[in-house]
Amino acid sequence: FNPLVWAAFYLSGRDMEMACDETVMRQMENDIRREYAQSLLDRTTGKRIAPGIPLAFGETNIKARIRNIMSYRKSSRWVIAAAVVVLAALCIGLALNPAKSQRAAITFPAYQDGKSEYNESIYNIRPFTLHIDLPEGWSAAFPAPEERGASPAGFTPVYLMEGSTAKAVISYNTFELYEGDIPLEDFYKTVYAPLRLGSLHHWEDYTPIVSSKTTETALATVYYSEEMQGQSAASWPQSTTPGILFYDKERLIYLAIQFSDSSLSLDQLHAMAQSVRITDAK
């Protein structure tokens, strides 16, 4: 014997009785209520069964059921219409006021650490500032001095942090314009060749989000292998994570944003990609 099971049965039975009564009231005219209430009395008078017994379904709390029947009011069309209007306004409000974001400005090159005679042309570009909307609670932060320099996706990486957790890393690189004829839809392949052709770390599934004559922002998927000590590279497990790419044909630079996990929704990724702008650094 489990008292919780019987209590649940009793409460659910009472709810079903009320629901049945309300269904009848919605489908009948108002002058039928007295007859319906009388039928409840007629069927239960002198036949009461203990409420805890399954055969007692329909006999519990008759007084409350009759009060509910006699006081029942059908929702008017105006009330229903008003409720629909309020619900529609709420939906529109949520659509026009999505999750809060904050504007961040990050200048690249972010620092000079990692500069050498082999990559000085990358560090010597005209500085620019990335403007991007970040999810609420996120902020930009430099890596520790010993971690600065280059990342698999580019140079002078900057972290996007949520508290003390790194949620993404942004880096930049330069590229050269391809001299031959190439379809416009394939132009990105010449820009991101270093990212697309990596053996242990490469970007695919390119999806443009915002395009202009000189710039394009896109979503992509980052495929990377997790190094396992003592095993060959071919056996390392592969993981994926979202990414955002941006190039500028006038500045001949691109930005790569690699997220640490897939915690952001597709709508959030779209919003971040659509917010990307760059200006001359002040």
156-166 pLDDT tens trace: 999 999 999 99
Chain segment 21-37, per-residue pLDDT in tens = 666 666 665 566 667 66
> What is the per-residue pLDDT for 183?
87
Q: Encode 2-24: b = buried (16+ Cβ within 10 Å), e = exposed.
A: eeeeeeeeeeebbeebbeebeee
Write down the domain spans for the chain. 3-96, 101-280
> What is the per-residue pLDDT for 197?
85
CATH assignment, 101-280: 3.40.1000
pTM higher than the cut 0.75: no
> What is the per-residue pLDDT for 184?
87
- Are the CB atoms for 129 and 105 separated by under 8 Å? yes
- Are the CB atoms for 257 and 195 separated by under 8 Å? no
- Are the CB atoms for 139 and 104 separated by under 8 Å? yes
> What is the per-residue pLDDT for 141?
95
> What is the per-residue pLDDT for 44?
56
Low-confidence ranges of the chain (pLDDT < 70): 1-34, 36-38, 40-100, 232-233
> What is the per-residue pLDDT for 182?
85
CA distance 101 to 271: 9
